[in-house]
Chain A
Amino acid sequence: MNLAILNYNMGNLASVINALRKVGVEATIEKNPDNILKYDKIILPGVGAFGDAMEHLTDIGMDRAIVEFANSGKYMLGICLGMQLLFEQSEEFGEHKGLGIISGEVRRFPKSELKIPHMGWNRIDEVHQNSIFKGVSNPYLYFVHSYFVDTEEKNVLGKTDYGIEFVSSVQKENIFGLQPHPEKSHENGLKILQNFINL
């Protein structure tokens, strides 16, 4: 199987590569948008700000290539910011347009006594059963984020409680998104990556 991790100059990819290697997959780092349709699966990672990320994607034409890949029906996984980018827009540092592959928007956690960013281990409670969570039930996973996605119930795979209940995992047909970092979530995270590979 051919799997690419998309590189668009947003953060290090070493952890994702290491985790995939641990579950037996040698991923290719791909920064050329013209190449991505040749892969069986892609992972869109991401650390950083939404606006910057979209700018980087658009600059190199990766935005259109990702949409094209999504339309091809092949499996794709967005992690953390990489999941948020799949949506229509974000309110992080002003309004920014996203890739628009899944309907919904990215919002900031409301002010509360809870600390922001939501940083640490929390559970995903499965709303819809899915093979990506095979072998892990309501898993503890590692989160680092200040924004969350707001989307229609039909796209929701799992939710997490952090003062409010927010959407922490999504699926629309061949497109998957995880708010936590499976590559930093010990055995549970590795299992989820393995499940994505097995799709």
Chain B
Amino acid sequence: MNHFAKRIIPCLDVKDGRVVKGVNFVGLQDAGDPVEVAKRYNIEGADEITFLDITASNENRDTIVEVVKSVAKEVFIPLTVGGGIRKLDDIYNLLNVGCDKVSINSSAVKNPNFVNEASKRFGSSTVVVAVDVKRVGDRHHVFINGGRVDTGKDAVEWIKEVRDRGAGEILLTSMDSDGTKNGFDLEITKMASELVDIPIIASGGAGNVEHIFDAFQSGADAALAASIFHFREIEIMELKEYLDKRGIAVRLEK
């Protein structure tokens, strides 16, 4: 019997080594401590944790390495870091302290060969390419700089290209849906899942458990969300029990 589980991935926004969205956590000694937040997600049944480094200044870039190093001593599930990864050395430094995957976004658009180099050196399964998409007419375009800059690239073609360049996974974020809590962009999720043979992580728009069920029905292999988990609008275990009842394989044991 097939038990291969769909993955639930909470995302933490980290700035200068501190979690910036998790301030509403109840019962945490220090809501801004990424180690405490990651530990809590781990205990609550997260299948992976993604850290999005939104540190603006260059001098604080290394803080994310310290964050991962501390988290990896306490949390034994896969850890992914995205944000600000530009060089092979950035990847090396993260993997070296216990990070499992890195997510590359703008750097891949600006220098597509970076995807080839990274996957050749560290293995495809280490390289996630984050693709931020927005509807433009009847197509989806790839956007960078947090959805502000339209690259003009067609999302479908870009996803296919990065897969051929060695990406092991696609983190697909709909900028139209992100923050709306009205559900994922199922159309692009379905298109991407049918297009490539690597896993698709659906992101942007999760507002309730049904939205996540819909994303999986549309072919996503994993669902990523930030605020609904941060603000405890959805408990990970309750979400998994719901998915299990609806016939989606999930890892129920904590």
Instruction: Looking at the assembled complex, report how far the CB atom of B212 sits from the nearest CB atom of chain A, in whole angstroms.
Output: 16
Residue of A nearest to B168 (CB): A117
B72 touches which of A18, A47, A114, A115 (Cβ 8 Å):
A18
CB pair B97 A184 closer than 8 Å? no
B2 on the A face (CB < 8 A): yes
CB pair A121 B97 closer than 8 Å? no
Q: Please name all residues of chain B whose beta carbon is closer than 8 Å to the beta carbon of A118 when the two chains form the complex.
A: 4
Q: Which of A18, A119, A184, A185 has the most CB of B within 10 A?
A: A119
CB pair A121 B47 closer than 8 Å? yes
Beta-carbon contacts under 8 Å, B48-96 to A: 69, 72-74, 76-78, 95-96
A67 on the B face (CB < 8 A): no
Which B residues form the contact surface with A (CB < 8 A)?
Answer: 1-7, 42, 47, 69, 72-74, 76-78, 95-98, 100, 123-126, 168-169, 197-199, 221-222, 251, 253-254
CB pair A120 B76 closer than 8 Å? no
Instruction: Looking at the assembled complex, report how far the CB atom of A22 sits from the nearest CB atom of chain B, in whole angstroms.
Output: 7
CB pair A115 B251 closer than 8 Å? no
Given contacts A19-B76, A116-B197, A121-B251, contact A184 B100 (CB under 8 A): yes
Q: List 18 A-B contacts (CB under 8 A).
A: A12-B95, A14-B97, A18-B72, A21-B73, A22-B73, A22-B76, A114-B4, A115-B221, A118-B4, A119-B168, A120-B4, A121-B7, A122-B4, A142-B77, A184-B78, A185-B77, A188-B253, A190-B76
CB pair A120 B222 closer than 8 Å? yes
Q: Please name all residues of chain A whose beta carbon is closer than 8 Å to the beta carbon of B69 when the two chains form the complex.
A: 14
A61 on the B face (CB < 8 A): no
| A-B residue pairs, 4 tightest by C-beta | A14-B98, A121-B5, A123-B3, A140-B251
CB pair A15 B7 closer than 8 Å? no
A interface SS class: mixed
| Distance, CA A120 to CA B253, complexed state (A) | 15
Q: Please name all residues of chain A whose beta carbon is closer than 8 Å to the beta carbon of B253 when the two chains form the complex.
A: 139-140, 187-188
Beta-carbon contacts under 8 Å, A171-199 to B: 183-190
Residue of A nearest to B78 (CB): A184
9 extra A-B contacts, CB within 8 A, seeds A12-B95, A115-B198: A15-B98, A115-B199, A120-B5, A140-B5, A161-B3, A184-B100, A185-B77, A187-B253, A188-B253
Residue of A nearest to B250 (CB): A121
A73 on the B face (CB < 8 A): no
B125 touches which of A12, A117, A121 (Cβ 8 Å):
A117
| Distance, CA A121 to CA B98, complexed state (A) | 18
| Distance, CA A119 to CA B98, complexed state (A) | 17
Given contacts A15-B98, A120-B5, A121-B251, contact A184 B77 (CB under 8 A): yes
CB pair B222 A12 closer than 8 Å? no
Instruction: Looking at the assembled complex, report how far the CB atom of A13 sits from the nearest CB atom of chain B, in whole angstroms.
Output: 9
Residue of A nearest to B42 (CB): A186
Residue of B nearest to A122 (CB): B4
| Distance, CA A160 to CA B186, complexed state (A) | 30
Beta-carbon contacts under 8 Å, A122-167 to B: 122-123, 139-140, 142, 144, 161-163
A48 on the B face (CB < 8 A): yes
Q: Please name all residues of chain B whose beta carbon is closer than 8 Å to the beta carbon of A119 when the two chains form the complex.
A: 125, 168-169, 199
CB pair A161 B1 closer than 8 Å? yes
Instruction: Looking at the assembled complex, report how far the CB atom of B4 sits from the nearest CB atom of chain A, in whole angstroms.
Output: 5
Given contacts A140-B3, A184-B76, contact A120 B47 (CB under 8 A): yes
Q: Please name all residues of chain A whose beta carbon is closer than 8 Å to the beta carbon of B4 when the two chains form the complex.
A: 114, 118, 120-122, 161-162
Q: Please name all residues of chain A whose beta carbon is closer than 8 Å to the beta carbon of B78 when the two chains form the complex.
A: 142, 184
CB pair B76 A161 closer than 8 Å? no
Residue of B nearest to A193 (CB): B76
Q: Please name all residues of chain B whose beta carbon is closer than 8 Å to the beta carbon of A116 when the two chains form the complex.
A: 197-198
